[in-house]
Amino acid sequence: MTTISRRRFLQLSAVTGGALMLGDLAGQVLGLTPRTRMAYAAEPIKVGIIDPLSSPYKTSSIHDVHGATVALDMYNKRGGVLGRPVSIIEADDASNVQAGIKMATKLIKEDRVDFLMGTFNGDVALAVADVAKQENKLFMATCPHIMELTGSGCNSHTFVFMPNARMLAQAVTPHLVKAYGNRWYMITADTVDGKAALQAMTNALKAQGGEVVGAAVTPFGTTDFTAPLTEAKGAKPGAIILNLYGWDLVNALKTYTKLELAKDKIGVGGMIGGEQIGRPLGYANNAGIWGLIWDPKINTESSKRFIQGVIDKYNHTPTSRCYLGYAAMMQILEAVRRAGTTDTAAVIKALEGHDFDGLKEGRSYFRAWDHQHVQDVLVGQAYGKELGLGHYQILATVPGDAVAGGLEQNTCRL
């Protein structure tokens, strides 16, 4: 048995006491109790992020993960949330409903995540939303725009961060009509998302006194758009509206440029574009007028911090998909902080009706009665040259309240 002198014992006691005092001081600064400091090492807050990482949406989807990771890193550098570190567990739904259900179930039952976020395809999002409610988990849908998520298919456990189809369509349509007239030809992906965009853009066009002069439906993952764009040219519209996204939209715009449709005074555009589309195209192939979720030219301090965070970690300027992942993760973690717990019901209550910094100029908040994030919608015109940060000239910033619709227009019953 080892023995120590009384003097040595007092020296060790002083060192130990000082360490404990220093630990208590650090805990007070970070808002930690001894219990939460102990939890920091053993009990991370886990967020499961589900995205189509192996589909025609894969390029955009990885940016969702990038943005969420930057937000997570910022919190962990400050000591986590409630004294606990935060971690992400990624899952690939491959734009497939059954894969989405399988991944959501695995994340909840095997990985034991506290929250779910992500998804891109509307039908996958609806399926994951059902799983989340059944398993009493909060689900923050970052990227889908279909109306059902905050309409007929809404539920108490799902919040939608993305502007919905109506918000985007009503914001961009007046600018498309002003530039190209109100006779449109529609090319639509054969997906739930494409059909949602078609419906929203058709409704917005009719409100402007316009007409659809022709339409084509293309399979998800189409690479050659020569046939539908040649058919569209024959209808002599003022504009071709592309209800497409991901690599479908990239390939369609490349074909639009190749066929030189702009020389025939046929414009192009649609409900949603952004840096995640502009970059794969390059400046020469980018064209048209588009609804934008976010843009790197937004001049707010929080937006600047976000941009720098993505540049520092990933060495690229963020896209709007980075924005969605980052800002959505921030709001999940901020809600946990306000609630003082990861309990699902308490975090839902902390989100409902909450105003927050959405990194934009206007107001951002979650409506309590349908869980839609109401926010600015931008309208941008693509240019074939460098415009400082990004591929788009901002034509308008439309307040979310002006285009989101009201309770009387919504079928959501939480």
Domain boundaries, the chain: 42-163+297-375, 166-292+379-403
The Cα–Cα gap between 399 and 414 comes to 25
d(CA 217, CA 83): 51
Residue 34 pLDDT greater than 90, yes or no: no
Q: If we measure between CA atoms, which residue out of 295, 300, 248, 252 comes closest to residue 274?
A: 295
Q: Is the pLDDT of residue 28 over 60?
A: no
Distances (CA, A) of 110 to 79, 100, 107, 192: 26, 15, 6, 30
**Mean pLDDT within 81-103:** 96
DSSP 243-267: E--HHHHHHHHHHHHHTTGGGGT-E
Position with higher pLDDT, 236 vs 10 = 236
* The domains spanning 42-163+297-375 and 166-292+379-403 adopt the same CATH topology: yes
Q: Name the pairing type of β-strands 239-243 and 364-366.
A: unpaired
Cβ–Cβ contacts within 10 Å for residue 272, how many? 26
CA distance 412 to 151: 4
92 or 284: which carries more pLDDT confidence? Answer: 92
Q: Are 295 and 378 in contact (CB under 8 A)?
A: yes
Query: Measured between alpha carbons, how far is 327 from 74 in angstroms, rounded to an integer?
Result: 12
Does the pLDDT of residue 163 top 80, yes or no?
yes
Q: Which CATH architecture has domain 166-292+379-403?
A: 3-Layer(aba) Sandwich (3.40)
pTM: 0.88
What's the full length of the chain, in residues?
Answer: 414
Q: How far apart are CA 331 and CA 205, in angstroms?
A: 34
Per-residue confidence (pLDDT) for residue 57, from 0 to 100: 75
In the numeric block, the tokens 């240019």 are attached to 383
Q: What pLDDT, on a 0 to 100 scale, did the predictor assign at position 389? A: 77
Report how far residue 355's alpha carbon sits from residue 162's, in angstroms, rounded to the nearest whole number.
16
Question: Burial level of 74, CB count in 10 A (0-12/13-18/19+)?
Answer: middle
Helices 301-314 and 320-339, packing angle to 10 deg? 110
Under DSSP, the state recorded for 404 is S
CA–centroid distance for 382 within its chain: 21
The pLDDT, as a whole number, for residue 403 is 97
Residue 30 has pLDDT above 50, yes or no: no
What pLDDT digit, counting tens, does each position of 324-340 carry?
999 999 999 999 999 99
Smallest CA-to-CA distance from 191 within 219, 154, 153 is with: 219
Across the strands, what pairs with 187?
Answer: 216, 242
Answer for the pair 223, 197: CB distance below 8 angstroms, yes or no: no
Fold of 42-163+297-375: Rossmann fold (3.40.50)
Residue 227 pLDDT greater than 70, yes or no: yes
235 neighbors 266 (Cβ within 8 angstroms): no
For residues 60 and 250, what is the distance between their CA atoms, to the nearest angstrom?
Answer: 12
Q: Which two tokens stand for residue 192?
A: 């739930």
More confident residue, 43 or 165: 165
Per-residue 3-state assignment (H helix, E strand, C coil) for 306-352: HHHHHHHHHCCCCCHHHHHHHHHHHHHHHHHHHHCCCCHHHHHHHHC
Band (4; pLDDT cuts 50, 70, 90): very low
Q: What does the pLDDT look like over 62-73, one tens digit per residue?
A: 889 999 999 999
Written as six digits, the tokens of 203 are: 């409704």
Per-residue confidence (pLDDT) for residue 279, from 0 to 100: 87
What was the pLDDT predicted at 386? Answer: 64
The 3-state DSSP class for residue 403 equals helix
pLDDT score, position 10: 37
254-310 residue pLDDT tens: 999 999 999 999 999 999 999 889 888 888 889 999 999 999 999 999 999 999 999
Residue percentage of the chain with pLDDT more than 70: 88
CA distance 81 to 161: 21
Place of tokens 């990194």: 359
Tell me the mean pLDDT in the region 238-242.
98
348 is written with which tokens?
A: 């839902």
- Provide the mean pLDDT of the chain: 90
Query: Which pLDDT belongs to residue 387?
Result: 60
User: What pLDDT, in 10s, does the model give residues 107-137?
Assistant: 999 999 999 999 999 999 999 999 999 999 9
Matching residue, tokens 């918000």: 167
